[in-house]
Structure 1
């Protein structure tokens, strides 16, 4: 009888201990979740605004990687992570419209050029605000670039019709208007309108 009573008391104490700990465990989980939500909100409110990641597509619709776009003190930062692209040097431009309809991506419109300048980073009459340095795709088809478009805000790129980041087949000569002889558009990523 004493053994049974001892077991009953021990079981009751164990259950009570578990019951006492259960709210603590839930409180810890709530605290962790609240902290995670707070951190997420802080990143969204205190850090530079970040556009949703955009996916590069080829003319046939194949996925070719992604680009993230965010505001910084110096302008808009683009981080490209591509794969399956032709090796070599390629022109890279922001185009006026956030549409990437293959196979030629003409839906993206012309280079983003709100100041009506000539094309080319080396053109004395330029450049377009959408003119970017050439990008290099490795022998394995990978494209890893991080660059800043100085004096530009994310809000400008995410206007009512958005914009598009386009990779061209050839290098940009940084001089010839309107597109630097950079050839066909081979990959495109939509920078979606805000909202």
Structure 2
């Protein structure tokens, strides 16, 4: 009976999972940890980002290269965009696969992340595994092409399979 209860408490096992450990770019204090869990066609993204400007919104994107070696996040290249779509708002019309929902920092500069999407995956053409994850200083304007004019890159991670 206890084994059955324990199995129910943990929930379904994901088909695949990945993690991103955000490291601050030069001159930044932004860090965090994000988990990615694939359940069928949906990926659940969850975690926390800290060191953000309190009460502010920040652009949040998957970038094409899993390379944080430059110190300023620029080595990740542009937004991950395998379909060649225009930049836009996640979940609204056409947009890059790498266009994620914005991060909203609380009064302590912490953003809690918890969303599901069918735009990214952990395998196949839209796989974010091995790609860069970037937190930007400014909010995304959702119109400037191809970047959203979200400003400097405050933190960088490589999304790694677990």
Query: Structure 1 residues 46 and 143, CA, compared in 2 at 3 Å: closer, same or farther?
Result: closer
SS in 2 for 1:55: strand
Deviations 1:46-81 (A, max 9, x none): 533211x32111113867121111112342221131
Larger relative contact order, structure 1 or 2 (CA cutoff 8 Å, min sep 6):
2
* Distance of 1:125 and 1:151 partners within structure 2: 12
User: Which has the greater radius of gyration?
Assistant: 1
In the alignment, structure 1 segments of 5+ residues that lack a partner are 1-34
Does the CA contact (< 8 Å) of 2:29 and 2:51 recur in 1? no
Structure 2 residue 52 is matched with structure 1 residue 81: no
Q: 2-side partners of 1:127 and 1:75: how far apart?
A: 17
- TM-score, length of structure 1 as denominator length: 0.66
- Give TM-score, length-normalised by structure 2: 0.79
Query: Alignment length, in residue pairs?
Result: 148
Q: Distance in 2 between matches of 1:164 and 1:139?
A: 27
Structure 2 gap segments, 5+ residues each: none
Q: 2:102 aligns with which of 122, 125, 134?
A: 134
Give the number of the structure whose residues are more often helix, by fraction: 1
In structure 2, distance between residues paired with 1:63 and 1:168: 10
Q: Does residue 92 of the first structure (1) align with residue 48 of the second (2)? A: no
Per-residue CA deviation, residues 137-187 of structure 1 (Å, 9 max, x unaligned), is: 1221211111223243212112xxx11221111101112211111111111
The question of 1:153 aligning with 2:121 is answered yes
SS of residue matched to 1:154: coil
